[in-house]
Structure 1
Amino acid sequence: MNQQQLHQYFTQHYVDLAQARLGGETLACSDDFFAEMENLIKPGRGVFIDDKYTDRGKWMDGWESRRSYGRTHGNGSGRDEDWCILRLGVAGVIRGIDVDTNHFKGNAPQSIMLEATHCIGDIDNAQWTVLVKQSDTDAHSQNLFEVNCDKVWTHVRLTMFPDGGVARLRVYGYPQLDMNNFVAGELIDLASIQNGARALLCSDMFFSDKNNLLMPGRGVNMGDGWETKRRRDPGPDWSIVKLATRGVIKKAIIDTAHFKGNFPDTFSLEGCVSDDEAILAGDAQWQPVIERTKLFADREHLFIDEICNNETAFTHVRLNIFPDGGVSRMRLFGSIA
């Protein structure tokens, strides 16, 4: 795949595990004299403001270090490099990396390397594994790299050779449920991306991404949800979600926050027991979870008694919206099978 196809594949099939709204955090770096490391995990690709300067030089929307010659980096490696350590918002399996040098035209790094670790305690004692070996990068570009490793990681370390600036770092993969976060018998949100759920497939996401349905918190605006374009037939539009783990749904919340003139008229929810391959091939056998039900604008809708098959464990659900529109969040609380 070329770079454009690779970017489309990553964004359609995986989640950015490092993004700030999932709890991603930049912990430390060798140097961020010109532009702060925290910019690496902000939304978007970064902007450029032609006449904006700070007392340290040109303002840049990314992470930018000083020129490395004559400078001690303090990481003990003895190599000429700059580095930044990030804690992922949620632990998971990494499948792809996007090192985006947008607007860094004369100050991008010559090459980069990415390492990862699984660390619960002191990150200073972590053992790092190379996921992307030292590779050349292009200025003012999205530099995409595939990763083929099934281990679960909690932190990554981006290294620039020898110095320079990166606008954004995206760490694409899928979260993994950590049972240590729950007590016996606790209902968990089976549709939370933080617990390992992810949107597999949808009929349309013209206005906003299907994975917004599963994000933490309530949507901050109309763009922070899943919204389809206007249909000219009865519909429905639909989104298929792989649950965090196989579970029995006991309570559901469908939230249309901020969708006032474009919320769906009605919705239904179905579940199945399947694997991803059968889902993608259209071979799943769906069972009703909530029959077709009226929705209202800008409201959290709670469903408990309306849930049928409330003793049946499912691996996937399909949210159907009639005929189209936008839903901010879907919460499915249940017990682990």
Structure 2
Amino acid sequence: MKNPFETLYTDLASRKLGGQAIACSNDFFAEMENLLKLEEPVFQKGVFTERGQLMDGWESRRRRFLPDGTTDDGLEYDWCVIKLGAQGIIRGVNVDTAHFLGNAPQSVSLEACVSEGNPDDNTEWTEIVVRSEVGPGAPHYFTVESEQVWTHVRLNMYPDGGIARLKVYGEVIPDADLFLPGELIDLAYIKNGARPVVCSDMFFSHMENMIMPGRGVNMGDGWETKRRRTIGDAEKDRFNDWLILKLAAKGSIEKVLVDTAHFKGNYPHSFAIEAAVLTDEQAADVAALEADSHQDALMAGRAQPSAVNWQPIMDRTRLYDDREHTFKKEVQNNDQAFTHVRVKMYPDGGISRVRLWGYPSESLAKVTGK
């Protein structure tokens, strides 16, 4: 089954953002930290530890129910508390039981809370995914109907068993109290609320990597496209790859950084950046148009790309391998405020990170919903 949330929302629990499993009822067979691994779960048949078969996930001991209805450990289910890497509105959840076949739980539920520190016995939890049946060896997607901003979640599994991965998809809502009045902020930073909308290609690695925290750790930790082989009519063919990014807030762009860390034989020759003011509805139309072929767009009757008033921020500029490129005096139109940018790279290749520092033209209280 195709993941219905991955391209629309950010995994708020991702380790890349700082997500952390901080407590659980029991992880006898496999550690709770495995739940948030970035890698796809794997199974190493016949590889055993002192606790049994090595499992790539969170797995608790077997719970025994006694004749009087109680259990041997006094609990009816197992739980794991996770600090979200970025607080936000949760839109969907994936509870993946990959490789847990004879040891998957019967059902799961998810609760959420708001807590400045680690949750404790006095924390108020709200159920956002009701107890639902799950099966072995498969992803399970749940839609969340809540407009609350959450900081932590608690995953419950009944009565025991193993879960390979947990993804908590949603919209990042930064804490307005962490910003100073008039502060220059990175409008392209995922933890400030930026989000990629659509791109021409992400064959080798996901577009979201480009706005993640820190520098890329390797060549896979960036946005990389396949090799472009376009030749022909320039009116019909595109000779560059591109990505449309929703900024964290409407604002001006004062300084630009493009990092090609670890991209050596596959960095772009050059790049350019354009910006525009779009509503969410207009951005959705642009994304649908850009994702289609030109002919499909005409048949669908959607507006053409020329309807978007893209303004130059950076003219086409040379890039070099494996380095940070910082630009200030080259930045154009910094007297205007924008909501979206389009990053172009010529002709293709990989970019590790893009930073766009600017001044929000809206108050952070409005941006964050506070």
| TM-score bracket for the superposition, by shorter chain length | over 0.9
The answer to whether structure 1 residue 293 and structure 2 residue 294 are counterparts is no
The 2-side partners of 1:243 and 1:136 are apart by 38
In the alignment, which of 20, 42, 52 is matched to residue 25 of structure 1?
Answer: 20
The 2-side partners of 1:264 and 1:122 are apart by 43
Q: Which residue of 1 aligns with 2:56?
A: 61
Shift of 1:122: 5.0
The 2-side partners of 1:121 and 1:90 are apart by 14
Give TM-score scaled by structure 1 length.
Answer: 0.94
CA contact (8 A) 2:275 2:311 kept: yes
Query: Which moves more between the two structures, 131-140 or 179-188?
Result: 179-188
Q: Which residue of 1 aligns with 2:368?
A: none
Deviations 1:99-134 (A, max 9, x none): 111110000000000111122245112211111101
Deviations 1:150-206 (A, max 9, x none): 211110010001000001100011211222112222211111111111101111111
Q: Which residue of 2 aligns with 1:241?
A: 245
Q: Structure 2, unaligned stretches of length 5 or more? A: 65-70, 231-237, 287-306, 362-370
Shift of 1:86: 0.3
Pairs aligned (count): 327
After the TM superposition, which parts of structure 1 deviate over 6 Å for at least 4 consecutive aligned residues?
none
The 2-side partners of 1:60 and 1:121 are apart by 30
CA contact (8 A) 2:110 2:153 kept: yes
Query: Aligned with 1:38: secondary structure?
Result: helix
Q: Which residue of 1 aligns with 2:190?
A: 193
Q: Structure 1, unaligned stretches of length 5 or more? A: 74-78
Query: Aligned with 2:264: secondary structure?
Result: coil
Deviations 1:53-107 (A, max 9, x none): 121222111100011124335xxxxx61100010000001111111111110000
Query: Which moves more between the two structures, 245-254 or 279-288?
Result: 279-288
The 2-side partners of 1:122 and 1:92 are apart by 17
Give TM-score scaled by structure 2 length.
Answer: 0.86
The 2-side partners of 1:333 and 1:312 are apart by 14
Q: CA RMSD of the aligned region, Å? A: 1.3
The 1-side partners of 2:310 and 2:106 are apart by 51
The 1-side partners of 2:18 and 2:118 are apart by 18
Shift of 1:44: 2.2
Q: Which residue of 2 aligns with 1:224?
A: 221
Matches within 5 A, 1:61-210: 61-69=56-64, 70-72=71-73, 80-121=76-117, 123-124=119-120, 125-210=122-207
What letter is aligned with 1:316? H
Greater gyration radius: 2
What letter is aligned with 2:264? K
The 2-side partners of 1:232 and 1:196 are apart by 34
The answer to whether structure 1 residue 331 and structure 2 residue 335 are counterparts is no
